[in-house]
Chain A
Amino acid sequence: MDHPVQTDFLRWIVLLPLIGAAVNGVLGAVLQKRMGKWAISLLACAPVLISFLLSLQAFLNLLALRPENRFLIDRLYPWLSLGSLKVDVAFWVDPLSAVMILVVTGIGGLIHIYSTGYMHEDKSYWRYFAFLNLFTFAMLVLVTGDSLLLMFVGWEGVGLCSYALIGFWYHDHVNTRAGNKAFIVNRVGDFGFVLGIFLIFWSLDKQGHGTMTFREIQQFASLLEGQQVWGIGVVTLATLFLFVGATGKSAQIPLHVWLPDAMQGPTPVSALIHAATMVTAGVYMVARLHFLYSAAPETLLVVAGVGIATALFSATVALTQTDIKRVLAYSTVSQLGYMFLGAGVGAYGAAIFHLMTHAFFKACLFLGSGSVIHAMSGEQDMRKMGGLRQKLPYTFWTFAIAVLAIAGTPLTAGFFSKDEILWQAFSSAHGSPLFWVLGVAGAGMTAFYMFRQFFLVFFGQCRADHHTQEHLHESPSSMTLPLVLLAIGSIAAGWIGLPAVFGGSRFAEWLEPVFGAHHEAHASATLEEILMAASVGVAALGFYLAYLMYYKGKLAPERFSSLAGGLFYRLFHNKYYIDEIYQVVFVGGTLLLARIGAWIDRYIIDFIVDGSAKTTAFISWFNGLFDNHVVDWLVNKIADTTFEAGDRFRKVQTGNINGYLYVILGAVLIAMIIKLRYWS
């Protein structure tokens, strides 16, 4: 491999938001009091915008290089160096991470600006921006870190910020519970992630090339082939471990449960973290390690299967939700499922393309919903909205464009990217017509639930109470400007990735140095066009149903919700009761184990410890008793006996010298007799 050029400015892309976070985090409270909120805004927005400009610079630098040399690196210092483990703090930008840093700093920058309006009344304004900046930093570490371990730093870092921002309004335990859930569920994923890192490292180390950097892993990936652990191929197992991490971060089945609850955070946070950037990290990671995933067909099948299953599952849930943000949350889970479907059929470029377009239109939708909530004095229930299109014109039009995009309306960004995934799901070597059919069904549902939301919110009669209606107002320009820019992106972002039948994708070409030249399956252009038309048709059907039900009112939603005795409706509405099941099995099970552990400590181990102490004490008490009553009795007895003996002998002591002399004489005589009789 060629040796890339050291580029010193990349570090500033990453570190500037950290500086913003540090200043606002430490001094924010004081600054806000002394100088006002504008100082906080400036300190928070400027670093992200400068990072964006530097990211553009990096992009242009890459563009100036020949495609195969498009690679910049900024090495700071050795982070860990023990034995064969060598990890540097180093940031790199290649065509793939260039796309990501542009999304993160670009859309992130817009959301920062939007937040200055949305959060303006908040007392903890500084704390919000400190975490938002810290998030941007962590996300940039995640995408530019040159090794798995550094990526993991960002991976957990974004999780921390997500936790802190979901529970931003911490006075309410609903929010803090949602934050905890997000962090802990993500920890389960992270657990898989580290195991994947360990397995890859040691398997390469066995061949003398232990490494954690992406480029070296790619270089030595072939050494992993044929290696096995526990009867499973190392590549398969490692990619599965890492994919567990992806299901956590990107909210895929079975670790999807945290994302809908994460909507408890401020709405711009939902837009930035829980729609545009953090939740796509799993897709990015799979794409980053495409060379490993492609070498593990079993894993790819799992990825695609989980992706499509999640896409369908959460689309059905989204059909029935009434909270404006929950619909978008399930929609996000569903769209992420499409991205994994793309990655799972080996179409990494298509997955990243959808990641990017989705970032635009979903951020636009979330920020639009934020604008609606802002106008509705905090109301999130769509049943209490309606008819908002006149009062909120900017919000309405931008929302409309984003809805068209996500529904896959031709010529919008969402159309091109989703169609690319569906086409690959059908035609790629790892794909199958079944994936296509399921994907199209999901697309139909997407169109339905998005237009349902659109009509419920913006059309018909306003169902809010008088007080709320009187306060209806369009948001300030700090909020509408980002909406307009995102709406433009929701159309334009698609045009850089035109399908092959329309002249080919600049986007795919850009990513070619990363994923390799994409060899189109030689299916006919006609087939591609037919499939495209079919999916548009299904989406149109979804739109038409929503139109009949929620615009015209000609079709009562109850006709569907009462199907099979309302079984499906209840199942969808209650998210298949998965939260309840997890609560009992995992949370309850862990707490039970915890109590058992504490019980063992107290009643078994300490019983033995205290018991042995008590036994010792008892023995010594008994010993004392024995001492007092037996030994002392004996001692006393002996003493008494001696005393008595002495008493008796005393009688001999008469004081009569003659008597003594007789005794002595007698004794000497006896002694002499004995001596004469026995010793001679």
Chain B
Amino acid sequence: MTDNILSYMTFFPLAGMIVVLLLPSKSHNLIRWVSALFTVPPLLLGVWLYGNFDRINPGLQFVERVPWIPAYNIDYFVGVDGISISMVLLTALLSFLCIFASWGIDKGVKGYFALFLLLDTGMMGVFIALDFFLFYIFWELMLLPMYFLIGIWGGPRREYAAIKFFLYTLFGSVLMLLAILALYFTSEPHTFDMTRLIAQSGKYGVQPLAIWPFDQWGWGFQHVVWMALFIGFAIKIPAFPFHTWLPDAHVEAPTAISVILAGVLLKMGTYGILRVNFPMLPQATADLAYWFLAALGTFNIIYGALCAMAQKDLKKLVAYSSVSHMGYVMLGMASFTTQGINGAVLQMFNHGTITGMLFLLVGVIYDRAHHREIEGFGGLAAVMPVYTGVTAVAFFASMGLPGLSGFISEVLVLLGAWQKYPILAILGASGVILTAGYLLWTIQRIYLGPTNEKYKMLAEINGRELFTLIPLGIIVVILGVYPHAVLDLLRASLDQLNQTVIPHLS
């Protein structure tokens, strides 16, 4: 089994989907438990993978390769390295927990869980695929269930949100597909194999193209491909100005889907940049990521924080906080320092756990009060002390309080960024003041103050909800105290990745 561990992790949920589809649609509990059951093996395999991953080896591990469509040199080619391992583990964990966060779904239960499991396979596939064609298939595979999960099980404006999400992402996918084909036809012999495409990175021309406006900008083939890929990924991150699908999608999506969206899907954007743009197009990365990506990241940090501050809907506020926190990832990776890039990937992981908690917590309150207006609460700490305590941990982690995981990744990112762009690091660091501002203000309005009479009788957080939150809370604390539990996984590969770009920096 360990030979094909990644395939098992990916396709277990797909098998689960088939089983769920065969179950009678009336037996809701059976469907829920069966779905949960099929997310357990990936999680356990993930634990095994964590234990057996070679932390010294910067290269690919647990590689599987089977010819798939030989006529076009397409292989089923998967594997993990330090760039993807943390995301694979995060996906396995969040998928498992989110099944339990979906327990309250009672409309079209069968369809929901079937689509959820399909989504799980798609997400896992994106992070392990090493063949560009396969990558693209998984990328699109994940889009479809997401569209239906938002569009059918979402809130009042679900259709608008689902279509907006779908079109935004599809727009990015088209650019990505064009870039993939461009690389395919440039490579010799034609291949979708990412490792071979990386090995040929010298071939992708950097001479300015004779086409307007690229001749003006001095962009070569590599730069154009880079930008096409980048826009595709930037929509997912989401980087300004491609971010407005995110608040809508998050607000309308059911709780578990918001967790998946913020916890896993956003990471695909930054993951894609690290997996594809950096090693495959190093010269363009050096030319375009330097300053541009860093400045964009910094802008995300501040702009997202300011927008979050202005929100009246708690879920929208958390959604905008993602825009802000993903900015740190961009800033960190664009610093091309070991601290910055390790901090960036650690931030991806930490943001997944912290924002996962935040959305789960929003779900808890929404299930009870049926609204999310920040001003509509008050004094909940007296009514739901345990819930408030868990919320405080998540909020302070999001604020980057030392001792919790968010601090480590933010400090690493800013420290790395300082070496290359002190001004951007200063601006980025000022984001922590804004973050403290909007999060404390939110705590104050919802949890503190005189208890709102309407909500005196709200039920305390229940065991199932705690079950979804506690594992994430424990990870948040452990990674604050002992960050090398994850950093050791990343370090070797990321340092090597850095070295592919650094020689191209002028």
Q: Interface of A with B (CB < 8 Å)?
A: 29, 77-83, 85, 149, 152-153, 155-157, 160, 163, 167, 170-173, 176-177, 179-180, 183-184, 187-188, 190-191, 194-195, 197-199, 201-202, 205, 229, 590-591, 593-598, 601, 605-606, 609, 613
With A and B bound together, what is the CA distance between A563 and B438 in angstroms? 43
A-contact 0/1 string along B407-433, CB 8 Å cutoff = 110011011001100100110011011
Asked whether, in the complex, the Cβ of B426 is within 8 Å of the Cβ of A176, the reply is no
B461 interface contact, C-beta 8 A = no
Asked whether, in the complex, the Cβ of B379 is within 8 Å of the Cβ of A171, the reply is yes
Q: Interface of B with A (CB < 8 Å)?
A: 163-164, 167-168, 241, 243-245, 247, 303, 306-311, 337-339, 342, 379, 381-382, 385, 396, 401-403, 407-408, 411-412, 414-415, 418-419, 422, 425-426, 429-430, 432-434, 436-438, 440-441, 444, 447-451, 482-484, 487, 491, 495
Asked whether, in the complex, the Cβ of B306 is within 8 Å of the Cβ of A597, the reply is yes
With A and B bound together, what is the CA distance between A167 and B244 in angstroms? 36
Asked whether, in the complex, the Cβ of B491 is within 8 Å of the Cβ of A172, the reply is no
Q: Can you name 5 extra interface pairs (CB under 8 A) apart from A85-B339, A171-B379, A596-B306?
A: A171-B450, A177-B444, A594-B306, A601-B247, A613-B167
What are the residues of chain B within 8 A of A601 when measuring CB–CB?
244, 247, 307
Asked whether, in the complex, the Cβ of B449 is within 8 Å of the Cβ of A195, the reply is no
Asked whether, in the complex, the Cβ of B306 is within 8 Å of the Cβ of A176, the reply is no
Asked whether, in the complex, the Cβ of A198 is within 8 Å of the Cβ of B418, the reply is yes
Asked whether, in the complex, the Cβ of A180 is within 8 Å of the Cβ of B403, the reply is no
Given A171-B450, A597-B306, A597-B307; A157-B433 close (CB under 8 Å): no
Asked whether, in the complex, the Cβ of A81 is within 8 Å of the Cβ of B484, the reply is yes
Given A180-B440, A198-B414, A594-B309; A82-B338 close (CB under 8 Å): yes
Asked whether, in the complex, the Cβ of A170 is within 8 Å of the Cβ of B448, the reply is yes
What are the residues of chain A within 8 A of B433 when measuring CB–CB?
184, 187-188, 191
Asked whether, in the complex, the Cβ of B310 is within 8 Å of the Cβ of A594, the reply is yes
Closest beta carbon of chain A to B502's beta carbon, Å: 12
Given A176-B444, A191-B433, A198-B415; A598-B402 close (CB under 8 Å): no
What are the residues of chain B within 8 A of A593 when measuring CB–CB?
306
With A and B bound together, what is the CA distance between A594 and B438 in angstroms? 10
Given A78-B484, A605-B241, A606-B244; A153-B402 close (CB under 8 Å): yes
Asked whether, in the complex, the Cβ of A85 is within 8 Å of the Cβ of B440, the reply is no
Asked whether, in the complex, the Cβ of B402 is within 8 Å of the Cβ of A82, the reply is no
With A and B bound together, what is the CA distance between A660 and B415 in angstroms? 96
Asked whether, in the complex, the Cβ of B414 is within 8 Å of the Cβ of A595, the reply is no
Residue of A29, A152, A173, A601 with most partner-chain B CB within 10 A: A601
Asked whether, in the complex, the Cβ of B436 is within 8 Å of the Cβ of A184, the reply is yes
Asked whether, in the complex, the Cβ of B440 is within 8 Å of the Cβ of A184, the reply is yes
Main secondary structure of the interface of B (DSSP, over half): helix
What are the residues of chain A within 8 A of B412 when measuring CB–CB?
80, 82
Residue of B244, B419, B487 with most partner-chain A CB within 10 A: B244
Neighbour of B402 across the interface among A156, A177, A191, A201, CB < 8 A: A156
Closest beta carbon of chain B to A394's beta carbon, Å: 36
Asked whether, in the complex, the Cβ of A194 is within 8 Å of the Cβ of B414, the reply is yes
Closest beta carbon of chain A to B57's beta carbon, Å: 18
Asked whether, in the complex, the Cβ of A171 is within 8 Å of the Cβ of B337, the reply is no
With A and B bound together, what is the CA distance between A597 and B487 in angstroms? 35
* 8 pairs, CB–CB < 8 Å, chain A vs chain B: A77-B482, A78-B484, A171-B450, A590-B437, A594-B309, A595-B310, A601-B244, A613-B167
What are the residues of chain B within 8 A of A229 when measuring CB–CB?
422
Given A82-B412, A195-B426; A157-B402 close (CB under 8 Å): yes
Given A183-B436, A184-B436, A590-B434; A167-B448 close (CB under 8 Å): yes
What are the residues of chain B within 8 A of A202 when measuring CB–CB?
418-419
Given A85-B339, A173-B448, A198-B418; A598-B307 close (CB under 8 Å): yes
What are the residues of chain A within 8 A of B403 when measuring CB–CB?
153, 157
Asked whether, in the complex, the Cβ of B167 is within 8 Å of the Cβ of A160, the reply is no
With A and B bound together, what is the CA distance between A195 and B433 in angstroms? 13
Neighbour of A184 across the interface among B311, B429, B437, CB < 8 A: B437
Closest beta carbon of chain A to B168's beta carbon, Å: 8
With A and B bound together, what is the CA distance between A630 and B428 in angstroms? 57
Neighbour of B483 across the interface among A79, A155, A197, A590, CB < 8 A: A79
Neighbour of B429 across the interface among A156, A167, A195, A613, CB < 8 A: A195
Closest beta carbon of chain B to A620's beta carbon, Å: 13
What are the residues of chain B within 8 A of A153 when measuring CB–CB?
402-403, 407
What are the residues of chain A within 8 A of B436 when measuring CB–CB?
183-184, 187
What are the residues of chain A within 8 A of B408 when measuring CB–CB?
80
Asked whether, in the complex, the Cβ of A80 is within 8 Å of the Cβ of B448, the reply is no
What are the residues of chain A within 8 A of B407 when measuring CB–CB?
153, 156
Q: Which 6 A-B pairs have the closest CB atoms?
A: A598-B310, A594-B309, A83-B338, A153-B402, A597-B306, A594-B310
With A and B bound together, what is the CA distance between A81 and B491 in angstroms? 10
Asked whether, in the complex, the Cβ of B337 is within 8 Å of the Cβ of A83, the reply is yes
